[in-house]
Every structure is written in C-alpha cells, then in structure tokens.
Structure 1
Amino acid sequence: MSIYLNKMLLCVLLVLAGGALLGGCTSVPDLKNIPEASIEDRSAARKKFLEGRQFLSLKMNAQALESFVDAIKLDPGNASYYFAAGEVNFSEERLDAAEKYFKSALQIDPRSKGVSRELGRLYMSKGMWEEAIQNFKQDIEISGTTFPHEVYNWLALSYYQLNQFDNAEREWLTALNFRDNADIRYNLGIAYKSRKEYDKALKSFVAATHLNPEFVSAHFEAAILLYGKQQWLGARQHFEEVIRFDPKGEMAILSRKYLNEMVE
C-alpha cells in the first residue's frame, strides 16, 4: 500500500469515525480515485471481511466491526466493506457513523445493492423523510432490489409522514402488487382512517387479519370501526380475537369494556 494511499485512508477513517480532520484532511477524499489495492491486499481484505461475517453470526459486533475496518484499510475501494461496517453501526444505533459508511459505499458504487435501502431506513430513524424518500427511490431503481414490497412500504410511510397521502397510497398499493402483506394492509388502513375513509380502512384492517389471524392491532381497529357502524356481530368477533391473542394487553382491556357495553 503506497504512502499516498495510507494518508488518504487515514483521512477517510478519521471522518468515518467522527474524529477531527487532522494533517491536511480538510474534507472526505474522493473515494472513486483511490488506487486499486494489490492482489495480496484484496485477498487479505476478503479474509477480514469473512472473519467479520463470522463474528456477526456469533453476535460479536465489536469484533465484527474491527474486522470490517481492517478490510477497508486493506482494500479501501470495495463498497461492500463500508456497507458491512455501516450495518454494524446501524444495528448499534450509532446513526451518524453508519450514515458516513453508507455514503462512502455509495460514493464508490452508486448502484451497490442494499445500501440506499439501509440509508433510507436510517433517515427514517432520524425523521429525515425527504432524504429517506430519495434513497428508497434510488434503491427501487436498482435492478434486483431485495424485498421490494418492504421498500415501497417504507417509501409510503415516509410520504405519509410528510402528509403526502396520495403518494403514500400509491406506494402502498404498489407494495401490495408485489406481496399481499398484513403490515402493509394495516398501515394503509391507518392512513384511510386518518382521512375518515372508514369503509376503505375497514376493508384494509379485515384483510390484515385474514393474512395474519393473530394481528391484534388490526382486529382491534376493525372492531372499533364495526362498533361505530353498529355492526355488533362483526365487532364482537374482532374484540374476542383481541382478547384471545393478547388477554392481558391494553387493547384486550378496552375490548372487554366495549363488549360489556354491547351486552348492556
């Protein structure tokens, strides 16, 4: 590894670690211009990366992160190593460090699979909804994105947080085209309910319970809407399911109150 590469890498690692920029490191270097690592260094980096994956399987996150950073030192032009280090930091809720690693991975390879998705999720954690939307869209544009229904669901939730309901509804419906999913049906139901579109909300909640019969929150929401429509039999069935699946929960306590009122 050349002296030039060592100095550049020191700048990169200082920034990724959140440390002060020292010795002329005034900004994050252009990772696209880092010289290619030698065959020996690439091989050693790969071993460190696999070692890190093994540590992760044993839930030894600190050791895993150390191995991934070692891999970056050996082969700083490999986006996968930055992504792996970002994932560890994200799992440990070190969001700023994770963000820097993810951004570095994208600087090296803008079409690196999964990075934009995780960066979008990170921005959701920070409440940075516009940034989340941008990254989820980028992930969707990449061929072969993993579990597209999840990405569309997160994209919809981000739009919903910005009160862009029409966009949110469109993305939720797109998500359902990929996979009919109870969580997505529930989210769509909550959105419809907030807009007082109660028939659509009820349909979504009931669909969620069909997909996941133990979905307590969906049963409760369906029961409340049926109760409001004075459809007592349907409401009773869903309230009873709430009590059956979560007898000590808060929703079960409320369900018993509604059932008692229906008897009276």
Structure 2
Amino acid sequence: MARRDLEEFHLTEGPQPAEHESFLPAFPGRQSILEAFPEIVPTGWNLGKKDFIAWIDFTLENPDEIWENDGFSDDKFFHYLNFVEKKGQVPVFVVEVTATEDVMEVNEFSLLLKESDLREIRGGDKVYCVAKEWERENLVREMNDRALLKYDEDSLDEARDLIDTAIRLSGSGSAYLFNNRGLICWKMGKITQAKKDFLESIGLDDGNGDPYFNIGLIYFDESDYKMALNYLGRAVEINPADSQFLTELAHLYLEMGREEEAMQLFQQAFKSDPNDPQVDFHLGYYFLYKKHEPRFAVKYFDTGLEKDPNDQFALADLAVAHWILGNKGKSIKIHGVLQRHKGLMPYTMSRLVYLNMEMGNYEAALSYYQQALSQNEPFEPEWLHYNAALVYAKTGRSQQALDTLHLAVRAGGEAVIKRAMSEKALRELKRIPDFKKLIRLTSKRKNR
C-alpha cells in the first residue's frame, strides 16, 4: 500500500511545492466544502487541508476506484478515489500516488467538488473498481455454492467444473475455494490433487484450521500417523474449541495407543460442544473395535443417535454391536433402517457386507460388495474383500473366494493372513494349493 510520512504534507492553506507535478486541482476552500456538505455545522472544524489527512490511509486501503494516468515524465500516476456520498459522483476524495520502478509514494491529495475535475481524473485507465470486484466476488461465491450443492448430490464432475471456474474467476484464488476443491477431489478419489489443493489453501490462509484438518484426515486414512498428527494437531492449535478437530485428533491418539491423551481430548471436545454426537460415535467405535466391549459401544452409539438419529456410520456400527451381543432382532431392525437410506456411504456399505454375511443373506452381502467396489474410495478395502471372500467360501465358490482373498491380502497384508488362518469358514479353502501359495508369497514379501 502506498504510504508517505504525512507530515510532509504542508499543513497550511494554499499551493504547495511538490516533488512531482500533479493532476489534482488545488484543495477547495472552507466555504466550498460547506456548500458541498451542507450537513456540516460551520463551527469547530476549520475544514482545512490538514483536517483531511486522516482520510488518506482509509482511501488507500478501501478505494472505490483506482485510475492510472501517464505522468509528465516516465512516472506513473495512480489516483485512488473514495466517493463520499453517491458512487460515481462528486464530492470525491482523491489520493494521488506516483510509481517508479522501485517505490510508490503519495504525491498529493485533494477533495474534488466539480464533475469536470472528476472526469479528468477518470480519463485514464481504470485498474480497479470496487463495484466490479463485488460483482465478480458474488459470481465466484455463487459458483462455489453451486459446486458444494453438486458435491452433496455426488455429482462430482459438475462440482469440479464449477469450482475450477470459480478459482479461475477469482484471479489469484481464495483459500476457501482451494479447500473446497480439495474436498471435491478427495471425494472423487483424486487424493494427490486433494492434498495439493489443501496445501494451496494453507499457503493462502495459514490461520484457517479446515485445510489442516482435511489433509490430516487423508493421512489418517493412509495410516501415515506422523503426518496426520502434524496436520490434525495444527488444526487443534488454531481452533482448540472445535469439537470435530478435537474428536478426530483423539481418535488418532487411540490408533497410536495413546489412550490417556485421547480420553482427555474426548472430554475436552464434549465440554466444548455437548451436543456434538461425533464424540459419542468415536467412543462407540473405540469400545466396539479397539476394546471389544460392545455393551459400552451400544451405550455411546445410543447417546449419539439421540442427537443425530440419521448418522449412517453410527447406525451401521450399532447394528454390528447388537449382532455381537446376540440382539439379533435389534440388529435386523437397524439393518432395515439403513436399507431405506439413499446414497449409502462406503463405510456403511462395508458394514452391510459384514452384517448380511452374518445374517446369512449372502446374495445381499455380495450386492453391497459390488456397490462398494463402484465407489471412488471403498472403506477398509482389505476387510471389504475379506468378508466377500468369506461369502464366496460359504456358498461353495472356492475360486472366487481365493481370488477375492488375494485382493484382501494385497490390501491388508499380514493382518488379513492372520485372520484367515484362524477362520473356520475358510477351512476347505486352506486345502487348495493356491491358498498355501498365497500365504508363502505374503510371507516372502514380509521377509524382503
């Protein structure tokens, strides 16, 4: 922003010497100003040039228009206009800035009261207009909103086109646009591009926790706990009261075996927002899959679902917990509720594959398996494939079971092999030479 020691402006009336010639007329006298601003009480304020010095910084920071004029030498003159009453009409306060190769400095300022003086200043090249900027920004925000709507509708190609156009229209780009494009690319399965967009958003606004949180979740999904901790931790530093940030960081601590720190964060998240069901859902997940205590899991899922009865993830896990506890009627009832949901998420489909396998609904399980594979990013693909392999094995389709188990091993490695070796449903499959070969190949990969 162009600035200059304001004391350089002579505080007396009359023509002033200047380093450069000026396009601006002399500053108007007191009587002319009173006539232009009849609401000013003609007492107390001298209305001299020095009384308007405070207007300079405001005009430089919040111009309505900026016009460029060629100087009398090689200098460029920029006129920052601030319309006092009606846009585009006098009176208008003008700050004249000269630009050389190295610096920009305030050359003069004046208050224009004549339309002819305003026309002369506006005879150059317009380089900025706040009205046009507002119009452009409104269009950018409208396209961003439409992109997010398409994102919610899973019309991801349309969402991507809209957000790309919004970024182009915005010029240098805005942090929120890159963050939103990152979300869209993430949902499309374009993880590398999503990471780039989140980092671009951080570069434009490193005080916003959202892109840190989003890229942290990607690394969490990839089991890169070091990078996930870096970004999720930074998100919490920026906004320590955000219950969602706290909850996901707590969940990460659970995965890292840092249970005491995790519980402290869960408590902090609950205090921050007692109505956030995600705290309950994450605790339910913890007790179901990490502590293997489904009764406690049911308690937390029920509490969370009182706050958000339609959460697919919690409903799916609650159905699993009830099935493990032998509450088959409750599990089947929840299963029916999930079947009526439109647009099932990858996590939900993965759980429905497991539930239908356990219920003996084998064809339904395979149907959900195929639907899950059509997703851009299936949830926990190793266990998705593993459960499908069990279905194929239970229905006598040994080769399909073996092929699908191979996919599970490729995705999950030793953990899948360990589970498979103790799985009764795979008893017949274990006698096949190809199964033993699969085990040996996995062992060799581990040894190497």
TM-score interval for Structure 1 and Structure 2 normalised by the shorter chain? 0.5 to 0.7
Mapped to 1, the partners of 2:240 and 2:256 lie a distance apart of 28
Deviations 1:208-227 (A, max 9, x none): 224437735325425645xx
What's the counterpart of residue 245 of structure 2?
Answer: 151
Q: Any idea what SS the aligned residue of 1:207 has?
A: helix
Deviation at 1:197, TM superposition (A): 7.5
Whether the aligned pair in 2 keeps the contact of 1:220 and 1:255 (CA below 8 Å) is: no
Verify: 1:188 aligned to 2:283, yes or no: yes
Mapped to 2, the partners of 1:84 and 1:216 lie a distance apart of 28
Deviation at 1:45, TM superposition (A): 5.1
What's the counterpart of residue 329 of structure 2?
Answer: 240
Distance 1:71 1:136, change over 3 A: farther
Mapped to 2, the partners of 1:165 and 1:187 lie a distance apart of 13
Deviation at 1:158, TM superposition (A): 1.8
> Percent identical across equivalent pairs?
11
Deviation at 1:49, TM superposition (A): 1.9
What's the counterpart of residue 25 of structure 1?
Answer: none
Listed as ranges, the matches of 1:58-207 within 5 Å are 58=150, 59=155, 60-72=158-170, 74-76=171-173, 78-143=174-239, 148-177=242-271, 178-179=273-274, 184-192=279-287, 196=291, 198=293, 202-207=295-300
Q: Which structure has greater helix proportion?
A: 1
Bigger Rg over Cα: 2
Whether the aligned pair in 1 keeps the contact of 2:249 and 2:262 (CA below 8 Å) is: yes
Whether the aligned pair in 2 keeps the contact of 1:133 and 1:155 (CA below 8 Å) is: yes
Q: Any gaps of 5 or more consecutive residues in structure 2?
A: 1-126, 310-314, 340-351, 361-448
Higher RCO, 1 vs 2 (CA within 8 Å, ≥6 residues apart): 1
Mapped to 2, the partners of 1:196 and 1:144 lie a distance apart of 27
Deviations 1:203-258 (A, max 9, x none): 34223224437735325425645xxxxxxxxx5xx3321122226965477479xx
Mapped to 2, the partners of 1:88 and 1:253 lie a distance apart of 33
Whether the aligned pair in 2 keeps the contact of 1:242 and 1:252 (CA below 8 Å) is: no
What's the counterpart of residue 137 of structure 2?
Answer: 46
Over the aligned positions, Cα root-mean-square deviation in angstroms equals 3.5
Deviation at 1:155, TM superposition (A): 1.2
Structure 1 letter corresponding to 2:183: E
Deviation at 1:95, TM superposition (A): 1.6
Mapped to 1, the partners of 2:207 and 2:239 lie a distance apart of 9
Q: Any idea what SS the aligned residue of 2:198 has?
A: helix
Structure 2 letter corresponding to 1:132: A
Distance 1:137 1:79, change over 3 A: same
Q: Which structure has greater strand proportion?
A: 2
